[in-house]
Structure 1
Amino acid sequence: MSLLANILGFSAFGLAARVGQLGIQKRNLLDNPGGHLLAMGVFGFAGYWAYQWDQRAGVLLAEKRAEILASRQKQIQKAEAAAVVALAEAE
């Protein structure tokens, strides 16, 4: 998902939350547009943060996968070397 889509989606959710809040309070929905902008901004920032967190998590997972792969290759090489030694001793 792109950064812009993430921010806009979270901002729309913030607007919906604000409208829902005013609806529960039975207040005029268009009374204070600054509150709408504030809610959209806060939720939009949360969307930006979530996007950045997701990107960083992807990098960390890729690094960890590479470490695991390297570790497995070393274990395979050690096992093969041990098998060669054991085979040579058996002869």
Structure 2
Amino acid sequence: MTLLTSVVGFSIFGLAARFGQLGIQKRNLFDNLGGHAISMGAFGFAGYWAYKWDIRAGELLAEKRAEIAARRGVKPDELLAEA
């Protein structure tokens, strides 16, 4: 998942959530465009954070696999082949 798709996807979800919120309240969907922008921005930031968290989690897993392989005395590539 790339950074752009994460941010845009979460932003679109934020817009859909805003439309759902206004739909439940039976208000005009295009009444306050600033609210849409704030919702999209907040969810876009959540997408950015999720992308960075995914990258960091991958790094932590790679470090842990290397540590386990070092304890077992095997190469890290062999450890992945076992799984």
TM-score (norm 1): 0.80
Structure whose CA Rg is larger: 1
Residue in structure 2 matched with residue 68 of structure 1 by the alignment: 68
Residue in structure 2 matched with residue 4 of structure 1 by the alignment: 4
Residue in structure 1 matched with residue 77 of structure 2 by the alignment: none
Please tell me whether residue 52 in structure 1 is matched to residue 69 in structure 2.
no
What CA deviation, in whole Å up to 9, does each residue of 1:3-42 have, x standing for no partner?
A: 0000000000000000000000000000000000000000
Q: CA RMSD in A?
A: 0.9
Determine the C-alpha separation between the residues in 1 that align with 2:4 and 2:35: 22
Kindly, what percent of the aligned residue pairs are identical? 73
Shift of 1:52: 0.2
Determine the C-alpha separation between the residues in 2 that align with 1:36 and 1:9: 15
Residue in structure 2 matched with residue 41 of structure 1 by the alignment: 41
Which ranges of 4 or more aligned residues in structure 1 deviate by more than 4 Å?
A: none
TM-score (norm 2): 0.88
Q: Give the gaps of 5 or more residues in structure 1.
A: 75-91
SS state at 2:24 partner: helix
Determine the C-alpha separation between the residues in 2 that align with 1:18 and 1:25: 11
Shift of 1:67: 0.2
